[in-house]
């Protein structure tokens, strides 16, 4: 088939890709294939969204956006991208609580992998889910709502339960935000005053290559109308007066507007503009979500590995995510700190470094992002999810013939 993911580091092993545009066609495809998986915006860096059988693109499925103002929810087709949804919501006077760095990703795919934005009090994108409509392995359309049995297992579903055809999300009245940048945050401040640093704004991102004398960039997202806790000095780092891409060699025009210019949430919460492709995909991404209580240990451990990490690294981002109750969420039961790595697209080199990185982070309870590259040679990851057996039982109930089971899930599930 020779089709690849967005980054170009993974070639799909499926026999073919189908692109249905109706639910009836989708059902026929699912029931015709003993092995099948849904394929969204192709932003997974591993084999999570692959199968030896049939891949079904969700991009052509119905993409209606239905706002229920009384319930404060919006229902969208699973293949809809966050950038498209954000524009519709903003035009109607509504908003989401957060966005990931890239608005180009599909709603269903981001939810299914616990993809997140940032902020001490902000849950990942899956925490906004109020309901799902899933076409199961038996061809049935099943609605699962918040409060239903198994709902907390179904939301971050890894594609194991079926094809998510609709997602219902909580919304709130629209709001404005601004972004400010600060350069050269002392490591001493990050280590000794970590809670103060990350709680200084609605969302705080720290960018580094780990071998620097100071964190190169702090990126603060603040809500308009909320008094800023930071003036022109961020723990010893001065406010920048020129816009910056987090990777200095990249075009700053790809990033959302900075320097304190107020604008709608839909044009500030993501790092990158929806109308631009932020890169050509010449990268590999990994991320580990560490329990907040162990975050400083994790940061110090990665700094110690800087000589092996930095040569392969374009940039790394440190940010926070609030705890939730979703069974396979990387923030299940605990606030977490994400350590994100944007590597050069050197598959062999990255795979050689990851075991050292994971040897330092997994013993601290770090959970890898499901859709990004990790190796887990000692099969530690399954032990980090207390409800994994319950999830396996839920998946078997939705998909008794195991049509959606693939090599990734076989490695993970009991």
pLDDT (tens digit per residue) in 319-330 = 999 999 999 999
| Residue 75 lies inside a defined structural domain of this protein | yes
Q: What residues make up the domain containing 88?
A: 65-174
Mean pLDDT of 282-290: 95
Is 286 in the same domain as 137?
no
| Residue 5 lies inside a defined structural domain of this protein | no
Q: Is the pLDDT of residue 187 over 70?
A: yes
Q: Is the pLDDT of residue 247 over 90?
A: no
Backbone angles phi, psi at 50, to 5 degrees: -115, 170
| Residue 88 lies inside a defined structural domain of this protein | yes
CB 282 within 8 Å of CB 8 = yes
Nearest-5° Cα angle at 159, 158 to 165: 130
The CATH code of the domain that includes 149 is 3.30.465.10
Is 81 in the same domain as 227?
no
Instruction: Work out whether strand 172-173 and strand 203-208 pair parallel, antiparallel, or are unpaired.
Output: unpaired
Confidence of residue 282 (pLDDT cuts 50, 70, 90): confident
Q: Is the pLDDT of residue 398 over 80?
A: yes
pLDDT of residue 278: 59
pTM exceeding the 0.75 threshold for the entire prediction: yes
Is 136 in the same domain as 211?
no
CB 219 within 8 Å of CB 271 = yes
C-alpha atoms less than 13 angstroms from C-alpha of 312 in its C-beta half-sphere = 21
List the end-to-end C-alpha distance of the chain, in Å, as a whole number.
31
Please give the tally of structural domains in the chain: 2
pLDDT of residue 207: 98
Mean pLDDT of the chain: 95
pLDDT in tens, 220-237: 999 999 988 899 999 999
Q: Is the pLDDT of residue 279 over 60?
A: no
Q: Can you tell me which residue has the tokens 């319930």?
A: 71
Is 146 in the same domain as 255?
no
């Amino acid at each position: 088939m020779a089709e690849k993911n967005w980054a170009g580091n993974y070639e799909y092993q499926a026999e073919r890709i189908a692109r249905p545009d109706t639910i009836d066609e989708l059902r026929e495809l699912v029931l015709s294939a003993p092995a099948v998986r849904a394929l969204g915006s192709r932003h997974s860096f591993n084999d999570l969204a692959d199968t030896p059988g049939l891949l079904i693109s969700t991009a052509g499925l119905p993409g209606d956006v239905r706002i229920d103002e009384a319930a404060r929810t919006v229902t969208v087709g699973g293949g809809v991208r966050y950038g498209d949804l954000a524009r519709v919501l903003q035009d109607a006077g509504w908003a989401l609580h957060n966005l990931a760095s890239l608005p180009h990703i599909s709603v269903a795919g981001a939810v299914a992998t616990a993809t997140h934005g940032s902020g001490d009090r902000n849950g990942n994108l899956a925490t906004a889910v109020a309901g799902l409509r899933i076409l199961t392995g038996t061809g049935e359309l099943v609605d699962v709502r918040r409060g239903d049995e198994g709902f907390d297992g179904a939301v971050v579903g890894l594609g194991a339960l079926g094809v998510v055809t609709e997602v219902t999300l909580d919304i709130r009245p629209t709001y404005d935000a601004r972004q400010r940048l600060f350069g050269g945050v002392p490591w001493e401040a990050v280590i000794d005053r970590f809670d103060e640093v990350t709680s200084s704004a609605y969302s705080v991102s720290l960018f580094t290559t780990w071998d620097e004398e100071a964190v190169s960039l702090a990126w603060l997202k603040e809500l308009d109308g909320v008094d800023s806790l930071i003036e022109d000095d961020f723990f010893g780092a001065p406010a920048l007066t020129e816009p910056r891409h987090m990777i200095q060699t990249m075009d700053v025009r790809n990033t959302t507007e900075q320097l304190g210019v107020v604008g709608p949430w839909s044009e500030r919460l993501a790092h990158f503009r929806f109308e631009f492709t932020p890169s050509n995909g010449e990268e590999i991404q990994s991320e580990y979500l560490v329990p907040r209580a162990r975050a400083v240990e994790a940061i110090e451990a990665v700094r110690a590995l800087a000589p092996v990490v930095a040569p392969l690294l374009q940039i790394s981002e440190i940010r926070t995510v609030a705890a939730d109750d979703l069974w396979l969420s990387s923030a299940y039961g605990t606030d977490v700190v994400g350590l994100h790595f944007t590597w050069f697209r050197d598959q062999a080199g990255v795979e050689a470094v990851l075991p050292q990185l994971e040897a330092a982070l997994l013993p601290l309870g770090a959970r890898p992002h499901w859709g990004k590259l990790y190796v887990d040679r000692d099969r530690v990851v399954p032990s980090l999810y207390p409800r994994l057996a319950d999830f396996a039982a839920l998946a078997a109930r939705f998909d008794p013939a195991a049509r959606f089971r693939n090599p990734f899930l076989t490695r993970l599930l009991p």
